[in-house]
Homo-oligomer: A and B are copies of this chain.
Amino acid sequence: MSSDVLTLGLIGAGRIGRLHARHLSLHLAAADLAMVSDIHEDAARQCAAQFGLDRWTTDYREILADPEIQAVVICSSTNTHAAMIEEAALCGKQIFCEKPIDHDLEKIDQALQAVERAGVLLQIGFNRRFDANFCRIRAAVERGEIGTPHLLHIISRDPAPPPIEYIKVSGGLFLDMTIHDFDMARYLLGREVEEIYAAGSVQIDPAIGAAGDLDTAMIVLKFTGGPMGTIDNSRRAIYGYDQRVEVFGSGGCIRAENNFPNQVTLLGGDSVSRDLPLHFFMQRYQDSYLEEMRQFVESVRAGAPSPMSGQEGRIPVLMGLAAWKSYQENRPVRLDEIERA
């Protein structure tokens, strides 16, 4: 392979790790995935076999220690992200890390400082920014196709809740699920959020409530300069993944519908119908996962800035913390309240 190709190591061979492995080994000619680590030996070995990787390990430090490996893709559990970013930065690796960096602002800041000191690129896996629908809306807002933005809606519903065991360590709805929407809100409007009001309830599964979490939420965002937005979250949409946004402004309104597996409509004796939307994120966001990884590889190769930096990845965590405080106290909470705390 040409010396121009980026050599990578993958840390964590779970569902999302294997997705990145597929893209790096099969779809991106400029990337060479050389090694995979997972604390579960079987997972590491099977991932290596599936994608024809030469090496696998249960100790991610082998990847960090390998001088041939220029970049790492961190897909281990959230609680390991911050420390691994720090370690990888110390080893001079370029870093792609799944979202979120952490649920603790201090740990995030420590990791980001390490990245800055090392001068490496860090990209956080907010893949939805690379989705064709949302890119199109972002472009419309940037080009002024809808004038000045006034109102925003994000609808973001999952087909089914994750296991209760996952929910217990997830950071809760606002830090696990809404965090994508918090990032999307800032991305689409190109503005900062100043204040958050979060309403929430348990309407789907009492066990989620018993675990101290919510399964349904409605959140109001106030942006600098006047625009307002809402985020609508549910852990269970019976019809599958529901991922829509709308931005309304002085010059018009732009909306993204869901993506469907086909463009076929059936007129039958009872109704006009079509198949359900793409069922979950692995189908719905397949192209965006590939595109974020392609941009990671290209940014590192070109020495370009990160298309989704650590600082950008930090703010949605701040917003999630503000949302929790707002929900608990049933009042709007300014982000600077959390920042100062």
Contact = CB atoms under 8 A, between A and B. Distances in A.
Interface in A204-221: 204, 216-218, 220
Interface in A237-270: 237-239, 242, 248, 250-259, 261-270
A58 to B, nearest CB: 24
A331 interface: yes
Contacts of A218: 151, 220, 228-230
A265 B269 contact: no
B250 A267 contact: no
Contacts of A39: none
A29 B26 contact: yes
A234 interface: yes
A257 B263 contact: yes
A216 B151 contact: yes
B266 A140 contact: yes
Given A220-B220, A332-B331, A228 B201 contact: yes
Interface size band for A: 35 or more
B258 A263 contact: yes
A32 to B, nearest CB: 11
B201 A226 contact: yes
Nearest to A131: B262
B256 A268 contact: no
A40 interface: no
A148 interface: yes
Interface stretch (A9-17, A173-181, A271-279): A271-279
B133 A263 contact: yes
Given A218-B151, A218-B220, A268-B145, A136 B275 contact: yes
Contacts of A330: 332
Per assembly, the copies of the chain total 4
A108 to B, nearest CB: 29
Contact of A272 (B135, B140, B269, B276): B276
B266 A257 contact: no
A183 to B, nearest CB: 19
Contacts of A93: none
Given A229-B218, A239-B253, A248 B157 contact: yes
A133 B268 contact: no
A268 B250 contact: no
Contacts of A269: 238-239, 251-252
Given A1-B52, A203-B250, A256-B264, A230 B232 contact: yes
A197 interface: yes
A274 B275 contact: no
Given A199-B197, A330-B332, A239 B268 contact: yes
Given A148-B203, A153-B155, A217-B228, 19 more contacts: A135-B262, A136-B275, A137-B264, A146-B266, A197-B332, A201-B226, A201-B227, A203-B250, A204-B250, A230-B230, A239-B253, A239-B268, A239-B269, A239-B272, A256-B265, A257-B265, A272-B275, A273-B273, A330-B332
22 contacts: A132-B262, A146-B266, A147-B238, A197-B220, A203-B227, A204-B250, A218-B230, A220-B220, A230-B230, A236-B250, A238-B252, A239-B267, A239-B272, A253-B266, A253-B267, A254-B267, A256-B263, A257-B263, A267-B276, A271-B275, A272-B273, A272-B275
